Amino acid sequence: MIDAFVLKEQDDPERLVDGVAILAKNWWIANKAREQLSIEWDTGDWASHSSELYESMARDLMGQAPKETVTDEGDADAAFASATKVIEADYHYPFLAHVPMEPQNCTALCHEDGRVELWAPTQQPGGAQLGVAQTLGVAPDKITLHMTRSGGGFGRRLTNDFVVQAAAIANQVKGTPVQLIWSREDDVRSDFYRPAGWHRLRAAIDADGKLTGFDDHAVTFSTKGVVPFFAAMEAEVFPAKFVENLRYGVSAIDTRVPMGALRAPRSNGIAFAFQAFLDEVAEAQGQDLPALLLSLMDGVEPFPSRMGPFGPAPGFSAPRSIGVIHKAMEMAKWADPSAVEGRAKGFGFYFSHNGYFAEVVEASVSERGLVSVHNVWVAGDVGSPIINPSGAHNQVEGSVIDGIGQATALAVKIAGGGVTQSNFHDYPLPRMPMVPQIHVEFLKTDYPPTGLGEPALPPVLAALTNAVYKATGKRIRRLPIDAETLRQA
């Protein structure tokens, strides 16, 4: 070992947090030296924070009026007062870690003349440059960043804390390049997590079986009173504008758990809650989810462009949605009553990141409550042309596998103000035996092409839980799916 010293936090986890840096000739020696450290951490006011506390706080908030209304169309209260039937359910999804195959790493060299060189696999090089400049007090034009190949990101490398850390360490030994490499445990326990969320959903059905009212009270998280965009409730989540009387409200729990964008930010959790709940609504109406979706969208013209989180974006198109819904039903032979014994099919649809996807999952559940996914049929509309078809298929297949992993096994839990998971033994990513047959078809429409790395993920979550319900008669309203609740007596 060469040296060890303390780095002090700057009240911003995207830059520096309290830590001890160990310098050695190689990573193995540094890591073995770290194991010998005896550190007493002061977790302060956040020591009492835990997943159980957040659950309790969310339940209390959902029992009150929302702190903020984000959508209010028609008269939701009147619709529920006059309803023949009211459907109500609570849904929950947990914090998630990114766990890219390559843990965070950066090489930094602080020259004696004030120049800084960085080699980093970052998704946001400008943010890395600015963060290092502010931390070291160096002009941005004195910083050169070399982007290296990234072993996965999915939003994790939009946050450049690991780059700032490497630069701060290198600043202590000017003229010597420093390579910072996180362990897997560092990566899991020092992430910027997909925010957890709760939704209390209600639907009003009139005497004719029509969906006349819809209400959601979402509980999410804020940092210092501010809800980040990737934790926010979107005002136009379907079925907004398709149900005459509709209201979305939101309340927030303040936390210091670092949060960030994860593949299909916002949509990946919200899609599960809404599409699974709409499946419940459809059943109460005596129909299935595709029939409900198609009835709501029938004859509706495309909406005008809107302002998204990254600038102007095309508005929701009912005709494009109808196209992928019909295509997925056709691919999966949805109307065919025959099925492999023990298996059931579930449906999911979502519009996110300017892409339209409808998906059907065929799954079974063992006597031990273990879920197996056999087939997934995916119909997508991301405009035209698709220049690299094999790359497009890979994006969709990866999204589906990612979503299956999130639904069946993944959750980050908080205890004592920290994360309890550490590695793949308690945060088990999908492996080859879990991967189903994935069938992908694209509708080539006369619209500009959009991104494809994100919109194929959200529908598979609800499609899978809806399939589990059809196979077992048990609704899945919390992720990940708990085998104990499905275990047969």
- pLDDT for the residue 471: 95
Tens digits of residue pLDDT in 42-88: 888 888 999 999 999 999 999 999 999 999 999 999 999 999 999 99
- pLDDT for the residue 367: 94
DSSP string covering 107-162, please?
EEEE-TTS-EEEEE--S-HHHHHHHHHHHHT--GGGEEEEEPP-S--TTGGGS-HH
Residue 200 and residue 121 share a domain: no
How many domains in the chain?
Answer: 2
Residue 384 and residue 353 share a domain: yes
Residue where one domain finishes, among candidates 155, 189, 223: 189
Residue 352 and residue 420 share a domain: yes
Residue 203 and residue 181 share a domain: no
- Tell me whether residue 162 is in a domain: yes
- pLDDT for the residue 309: 65
Residue 124 and residue 70 share a domain: no
Quick one: DSSP state of residue 409?
A: T
Specify whether the CB–CB gap between 158 and 261 falls below 8 A.
yes
Domain of 414, in residue numbers: 52-97+193-486
Query: Distance between CA atoms of 423 and 297, rounded to whole angstroms?
Result: 44
Cα angle, residue 479 at apex, residues 418 and 182 outer, rounded to 5°: 40
Query: Distance between CA atoms of 158 and 102, rounded to whole angstroms?
Result: 15
- Going by C-alpha positions, the residue among 423, 365, 431, 371 that lies closest to residue 401 is 431
Residue where one domain finishes, among candidates 146, 172, 189: 189
Q: Helix, strand, coil proportions of the chain in percent (round to 5)?
A: 30, 30, 40
Query: Distance between CA atoms of 475 and 455, rounded to whole angstroms?
Result: 24
- Tell me whether residue 70 is in a domain: yes
Specify whether the CB–CB gap between 480 and 413 falls below 8 A.
no
Residues in Cβ contact with 38 at an 8 Å cutoff, skipping those fewer than 6 apart: none
Residue 314 and residue 165 share a domain: no
- pLDDT for the residue 95: 98
Burial class (CB in 10 A: 0-12, 13-18, 19+), 372: middle
Residue 310 and residue 455 share a domain: yes
- Tell me whether residue 167 is in a domain: yes
Residue 219 and residue 72 share a domain: yes
Residue 139 and residue 280 share a domain: no
Q: Are strands 211-222 and 245-254 parallel, antiparallel or unpaired?
A: parallel
- Tell me whether residue 288 is in a domain: yes
Specify whether the CB–CB gap between 481 and 382 falls below 8 A.
no
- pLDDT for the residue 9: 83
- Going by C-alpha positions, the residue among 208, 185, 184, 200 that lies closest to residue 233 is 200
Residue 117 φ/ψ, nearest 5 degrees: -120, 140
- Tell me whether residue 37 is in a domain: no
Q: Find the CATH number of the domain harbouring 353.
A: 3.30.365.10
- pLDDT for the residue 52: 97
Residue 58 and residue 17 share a domain: no
Using N-to-C axis directions, what is the helix angle for 389-408 and 267-285, rounded to 10°?
A: 70
- Tell me whether residue 41 is in a domain: no
Query: Distance between CA atoms of 343 and 432, rounded to whole angstroms?
Result: 20
DSSP lists the bridge partners of residue 265 as none
Residue 77 and residue 8 share a domain: no
**Within the chain, which residues score under 50 in pLDDT?**
none
Full-model pTM: 0.96
- Tell me whether residue 173 is in a domain: yes
Tens digits of residue pLDDT in 202-223: 999 999 999 999 999 999 999 9
Cα angle, residue 363 at apex, residues 411 and 453 outer, rounded to 5°: 55
- Tell me whether residue 42 is in a domain: no
Tokens 């800084």 — which residue?
116
Residue 369 and residue 222 share a domain: yes
- Going by C-alpha positions, the residue among 412, 418, 403 that lies closest to residue 463 is 403
Residue where one domain finishes, among candidates 189, 215, 243: 189
